[in-house]
Every structure is written in structure tokens, then in C-alpha cells.
Amino acid sequence: MRKKIVVGNWKMNNTVAESVTLATDVIGALGEGFSGCDVGLAPTYLALDAVGQLLEGSEVQLVAQNCHYENDGAFTGEVSARMINAIGCSYVIIGHSERRQYFGETNATVNLRIKKALSEGLKVILCVGETLAERESGVTETVISSQIREGLTGISHIGAIVIAYEPVWAIGTGKTASSSQAEEVHLFIRTLIGELYGEPAFRLVRIQYGGSVKPSNAAELFAMPNIDGGLIGGASLNADDFVAIVQAASV
Ligand code: PGA
């Protein structure tokens, strides 16, 4: 039985003070010793330190939204996996569609970032997903297959990787993939991971769904056999909504 994992991706939202308030509310609402599913919070880099201190001693994991593939050097505006690790993150999100769309992230740079993150002992949430045009032209599986094969080239440590399936057309748009649409792609991803890494990985890899998950649709999505939790954007900015989603993953 795979333990579900729900992560709040706060994206470029909240000052440090606002992040501390939101994290405090989430921890308070979850209650001490919460263990229904794995939970993570991904504030901006600026707030990692303050939120990390709050999470100490709680079950909630600190997650970074990205990391660079060099340890240090002349990369203005970037933060390295080494720094992410040193500040107390256990997971890092890599290859989010917004990184691919607005910041030139490719499967090749995703691969470099994953390798570096793993070498620093971080666990990785690898995001994949098709655009609306790709879905409509029938190439969803081809796109996702390349994102996974190229993103994971040369990587053997699949146990430290969670996949997040996030159809680009469902992110922040209020349009959610139906539970059966999502399940179909999740099964495709699981089968591909099985082909690449063997039977235990087929059974054990966790695949989150992301894209307009809300308290009202979370339970139906999480009830699907191959959906192992969610990567939550908009709804994670409200503590009550986020905790309701965590609870839907904890039944
Ligand atoms: P959303 O974002 O929940 O706002 O659609 C999900 C994500 O991008 O991780």
C-alpha cells in the first residue's frame, strides 16, 4: 500500500511573514502527530528558513520549488541543491510546467537538476504533463513518455522520486482532469516506470495529480487506484482548503 503524499506549492505567493502565518495555520489544523499521509509545504526560497523552523518537530516536510544543478558559482538568481539541502528541505520540485513554459526548462536541464538534487540526498518531485494542444492532437502519452525518459536518463535511484502528473491545461485554470482522465495517464506513467525500473518500482512509485485540486474534487481523484496524492497550487494558499485536501488523502 502506497502512502499518499500531498504537497502545497505556494509558487510566487506570500511574504516571509505571510508564509509563517499560513504554515502555522496548516500545522495547527493538522494537529500533532498527524500521520494520515505525507504532507509537504513549498514556500518561496525566501521563506524556507522561517517555515522550516516552524516545521521542526512536526511531520510536515519542507519542500523547495526548484534547484540549480551546480553547487555554486556565477548563476545570478539561482539557488543550488546543496543550499536547499542545508536549509532543511527534504524534497525539491523539479520540472514544473511553469518552469518549462516561462523559464526555458527542458528535459535535459530537468535531468541535470534531478541528478544534482539526488546527489545531495534530496527527494525529488518530477512534474510532467501535456498542454491542451498536445492533448487535442493525441500526443499526451508521447509527451509524457519523453518527459519521463529524458528527465530520468542515467538515474537509477527511483525510490527517491515522486512523479507529479499535472496537465498544463488544468493548472490554475479551474479545469480539473476528470478522475478517469487522470487515472488513465497515471496508469500509463506507472507502467512506463515499471518498464524502466522493474516490478517493485511499478508497485511503489508514487504519482501525484496536480491541476485545480480543491476540497470538492480531491476525494474523487484520490480514490483512483493510481493517484497517490496531489500537488496543490491555488488551494494550498488557504489553510482550511489545503487541510481538507490532506484529509481527503488520509482516509
Ligand atoms: P493549481 O496548481 O492547483 O493552482 O492548479 C497546481 C500546480 O501547479 O502544482
Phi first, then psi, for residue 205 (nearest 5°) are: -60, 135
| CB 230 near ligand 1, within 6 Å | no
Give the type of residue at 214: K
Give the number of the atom of ligand 1 that is nearest the alpha carbon of residue 212: 5
Residue nearest to atom 1 of ligand 1 (CA): 233
How high is the pLDDT of residue 172? 82
Query: What pLDDT, on a 0 to 100 scale, did the predictor assign at position 32?
Result: 83
Burial of 209-248, coded b for 16+ CB within 10 Å and e otherwise, reads bbbbbbbebbeebbebebbbbbbbbbbbbbbebbbbbbbb
Tell which one of 5, 94, 130, 213 to mutate to probe ligand 1, the residue whose CB is within 8 A of the most ligand atoms. Answer: 213
Name, in order, each residue with C-beta under 8 angstroms of 214's C-beta and a sequence gap of 6 or more: 176, 235, 241, 245
Q: Indicate the number of domains in the chain.
A: 1
248 Cα to the center of ligand 1, angstroms: 17
Ligand 1 and 212: CB distance under 6 A: yes
Taking the C-alpha atoms of residue 43 and residue 52, their distance in angstroms, rounded to an integer, is 10
Q: Is the CB of 9 under 6 A from ligand 1?
A: yes
Q: Which domain range does residue 240 map to?
A: 5-248
Tens-binned pLDDT, residue by residue, of the chain (251 aa): 899 999 999 999 999 999 999 999 999 999 888 889 999 999 999 999 999 999 998 999 999 999 999 999 999 999 999 999 999 999 999 999 999 999 999 999 999 999 999 999 999 999 999 999 999 999 999 999 999 999 999 999 999 999 999 999 998 888 888 999 999 999 999 999 999 999 999 999 999 999 999 999 999 999 999 999 999 999 999 999 999 999 999 98
Report pLDDT for 214.
96
Q: 139 C-alpha to center of ligand 1: Å?
A: 22
Tally of helices (H runs) and strands (E runs) in the chain: 11, 8
The pLDDT value recorded for residue 134 is: 95
pLDDT of residue 177: 85
28 lines ligand 1 (CB under 6 A): no
| Domain CATH for 97 | 3.20.20.70
The predicted structure's pLDDT at residue 89: 98
Q: Is 121 in the pocket of ligand 1 (CB under 6 A)?
A: no
Instruction: Tell me, in angstroms, the distance from the centre of ligand 1 to residue 126's CA.
Output: 14
Strands 91-94 and 61-64: parallel
pLDDT at position 78, please?
Answer: 97
Predicted pLDDT of residue 125:
98
What's residue 171's pLDDT? 87
**Closest atom of ligand 1 relative to the 235 alpha carbon:** 3
